[in-house]
Amino acid sequence: MNHTENRKPASGIFYASLRAVDPCDSVKGCADKIRSAYINGGFNRLLVAGFGKAACPMARALEEALCELITDGIVITKYGHCGRQNIEHRAQNTDSKIRTHEAGHPLPDENGVKATEEIIGLLKSADDKTLIVCLISGGGSALLVSPYEGISLSEKQEITNLLLRAGADIYELNTVRKHISKVKGGRLAETAYPARTISLILSDVMGDRLDVIASGPTSPDTTTYNDALKVLEKYELMDKSPGNIIEVLQKGSRDIVRETPKEGDKIFERVENIIIGSSRTALGAAVKKAEELGFHAEIISSGLSGEAREAGRWLAIKAKETAGARGKGQGARCLISGGETTVTVKGLGLGGRNMELALAFAMEIEGVDGMTLLSAGTDGTDGPTDAAGAVVDGETIRKAKAAGLDPVEYLANNDSYNFFKKIDSLFITGPTGTNVMDLQIVILD
């Protein structure tokens, strides 16, 4: 197959993986459990609080399944991620009890602060006869935003941007976020106590760690203020970070500011956290679809991480080794991986981790026939762009050079988006309504 022919099965495999982690189906699968908990627990109110890129479809599913039980609700999602189906649902159900707000991601904004204050107010109204359902998905760390006392929104935006540009991974980023917030790191559960809380969680982190997904608002925190300071020290950001943030973290390290709630705290006796979808589900569905299409498929990594360009080179080397070891008559193969890489931003260009990974992969396989990669974010966005990722093959770099583009220069400038846009290799899906990290699909024909 050529590049154009390979793009179709690769995208088909990608979309099959998305269907497997459809947030509506996942939430509806928990409806009976929630109904039973409400009735058997003798509750008289059911409140909904949602935040993340999948918040709207999750809320729609809950409302369709349990409308008569819901008392009130608020969800926060990223701009443009409400989706056509959810907008139509709101139009047809004008008496909807769940209000929707859109806010900034990956940098938090004022809309996120205002919407979070509404959620805090709603949960503070809860008592021991209240059942709260939290709908949590990737992106929740930026969307559920309430800076700790003495820290401004602009300072929180600044530290988030510094960490993102430095290449901090999601664990490190959320370690800091949890300790400069009034709602992260178990503090939302603390706000809701003594209500009973059931959190339905769509995981976007490797290992499905509850304390990391959306910065663990309803989970015990395993990190400390000292850990947060170590992250800033690692990336040499102590002198660059806002003074108020450093002050809060240092006070916390000296026990002047109270730590985030830990395992064993009584507030978690009233909390149940349920993972309803993850990268593992998506990867399994990708393998199944690839095999249906006639490929011999295998997962080569479920935890791809590190610098995006290095991950891209590793994938390319793995693909070439696999192709070289393939015997005659063994047929086409499909190598699948998932995870979340990082980009240390040194240039002034536009891009995202999937596009940077794809560019490095393309450079490594220049001139190699029969090899295609699709790398994309399952949420439909890669960095601050309208693309989910990119599709490349052995002809990509040749095509670019023929058009006068220097791939080395574009990679050095972190400008993968504009590189791929100029040669029509972007993979654009629009917001998908789900978020379980990234997928890489390599087809060897």
Q: What whole-number distance in Å separates Cα of residue 135 and Cα of residue 53?
A: 11
Q: What whole-number distance in Å separates Cα of residue 407 and Cα of residue 162?
A: 26
Report helix, strand or coil for 334.
strand
35 CB neighbour count, 10 Å cutoff:
15
Dig out the tokens for 290 from the structure: 């690839």
Which has the closest alpha carbon to 436: 281, 328, 262, 256? 281
pTM score: 0.92
Q: Give the per-residue pLDDT at 328.
A: 60
Q: What whole-number distance in Å separates Cα of residue 302 and Cα of residue 305?
A: 9
**CA of residue 307 relative to chain centroid, distance:** 17
Domain finish residue from 277, 302, 317: 277
Q: Give the per-residue pLDDT at 88.
A: 58
Name beta bridge partners: 307: 342
Domain match, 428 and 361 both: yes
- Single-letter residue type at 212: V
Q: What whole-number distance in Å separates Cα of residue 433 and Cα of residue 86?
A: 10
Report helix, strand or coil for 98.
strand
Considering the domain boundaries, does residue 189 fall inside one? Answer: yes
Q: Give the per-residue pLDDT at 93.
A: 59
Q: Give the per-residue pLDDT at 199.
A: 98
Domain match, 272 and 320 both: no
Domain match, 267 and 314 both: no
Considering the domain boundaries, does residue 208 fall inside one? Answer: yes
Considering the domain boundaries, does residue 153 fall inside one? Answer: no
pLDDT digits (tens, 9 = 90+) for 293-331: 999 999 999 999 999 999 999 999 999 999 988 766 678
Residues 6+ apart with CB under 8 A from 49: 73, 74, 75, 119, 122, 123, 132, 133, 134, 135, 188
Name beta bridge partners: 296: 333
Domain match, 10 and 54 both: no
Considering the domain boundaries, does residue 160 fall inside one? Answer: no
Domain match, 199 and 301 both: no
Q: What is the dihedral of CA 149, 155, 161, 166, to 10 degrees?
A: -80
Do residues 70 and 98 lie in contact, with contact meaning Cβ atoms separated by under 8 Å?
A: yes
Q: What whole-number distance in Å separates Cα of residue 109 and Cα of residue 205?
A: 23
pLDDT digits (tens, 9 = 90+) for 88-99: 555 555 578 999
Dihedral sign of CA atoms 425, 429, 431, 435 in order: negative
More confident residue, 5 or 86: 5
Q: What is the per-residue burial (b if ≥16 Cβ within 10 Å, else e) of 403-426?
A: eebebeebbebbbbbbbbbebebb
pLDDT digits (tens, 9 = 90+) for 352-380: 999 999 999 999 999 999 999 999 999 99
Considering the domain boundaries, does residue 236 fall inside one? Answer: no
Give the CATH number for residue 122.
Answer: 3.40.50.10180
Domain match, 273 and 285 both: no
| Residue 293 domain boundaries | 3-15+280-444
Name beta bridge partners: 136: 51, 201
Give the gyration radius of the chain's Cα atoms: 22
155 CB neighbour count, 10 Å cutoff:
18
Do residues 66 and 34 lie in contact, with contact meaning Cβ atoms separated by under 8 Å?
A: yes
Q: Give the per-residue pLDDT at 327.
A: 62
Domain match, 297 and 416 both: yes
Q: Give the per-residue pLDDT at 388.
A: 98
DSSP string of 252-318?
HHTTSSPPPP-TT-GGGGGEEEEEEE-HHHHHHHHHHHHHHTT-EEEEEEEEE-SBHHHHHHHHHHH
pLDDT digits (tens, 9 = 90+) for 19-48: 999 999 999 999 999 999 999 999 999 999
Considering the domain boundaries, does residue 244 fall inside one? Answer: no
DSSP state of 213: G
Give the CATH number for residue 366.
Answer: 3.40.1480.10
Domain finish residue from 242, 277, 312: 277
Q: What whole-number distance in Å separates Cα of residue 342 and Cα of residue 308?
A: 6
Domain match, 102 and 203 both: yes
Q: What whole-number distance in Å separates Cα of residue 417 and Cα of residue 410?
A: 9
Q: What whole-number distance in Å separates Cα of residue 330 and Cα of residue 350?
A: 40
Arithmetic mean of pLDDT over the chain: 95
Q: What whole-number distance in Å separates Cα of residue 17 and Cα of residue 316?
A: 22
Lowest mean pLDDT of 5-14, 238-247, 265-274, name the range: 5-14
Q: Which whole number is the average pLDDT over 193-201?
A: 98
Considering the domain boundaries, does residue 350 fall inside one? Answer: yes
Domain match, 188 and 303 both: no
Domain match, 316 and 405 both: yes
Do residues 54 and 434 lie in contact, with contact meaning Cβ atoms separated by under 8 Å?
A: yes
> Could you give the number of structural domains in the chain?
2
Q: What whole-number distance in Å separates Cα of residue 45 and Cα of residue 369?
A: 61
> With bands split at pLDDT 50, 70 and 90, how would you rate the model's confidence at 1?
very low
Domain match, 272 and 288 both: no
pLDDT digits (tens, 9 = 90+) for 203-259: 999 999 999 999 999 999 999 999 999 999 999 999 999 999 999 999 999 999 999
Q: Is the pLDDT of residue 2 over 70?
A: no
Domain match, 65 and 135 both: yes
pLDDT digits (tens, 9 = 90+) for 118-167: 999 999 999 999 999 999 999 999 999 999 999 999 999 999 999 999 99
Considering the domain boundaries, does residue 379 fall inside one? Answer: yes
